Structure 1
Amino acid sequence: MVSFPDKDKTEYVKIGMPKEMVEEVKRIIEGEKRLGFVSIQEFVKDAVRKNIMEFGEYSNGQHKR
């Protein structure tokens, strides 16, 4: 399991995304309320977290398929 620091202690940086991707994320958030995302930031953090978990397993030699 990937653990992340407490929100109060986390430093943030800005990143850029193509406008088309942002618009698609907005469409998903607004159209799929059942997913529970209330912001683009939440959606993107969740997607990145899932990739870190998946690819972190690869880089640690632990990925099993």
Structure 2
Amino acid sequence: MKKEKKRCSVSKFLMFVSGAALTVASFVVIPQLLEKCSNKMYKSSLKKDEIDFDSMGPEIVPHDKKEGE
């Protein structure tokens, strides 16, 4: 009975430690990695010679009708 209680308390402690480690990683490590990678992607996109306007979004079409029609 004592071994079972000890095993249960050890597993709860390990779950708490792993939860704390995941929380720290999600608030500290991952945002820094995302910022670093996004900065590299942005800088590499500036080095392109041509801009592909077809992949930028919907086409802007001027409105031909007048307000009274």
Shared topology, TM-score over 0.5?
no
**Bigger relative contact order, structure 1 or 2 (CA pairs below 8 A, ≥6 apart):** 1
Q: TM-score, normalised by structure 1?
A: 0.34
Q: TM-score, normalised by structure 2?
A: 0.32
Larger-gyration structure (1/2) = 2
Larger helix fraction of residues: 2
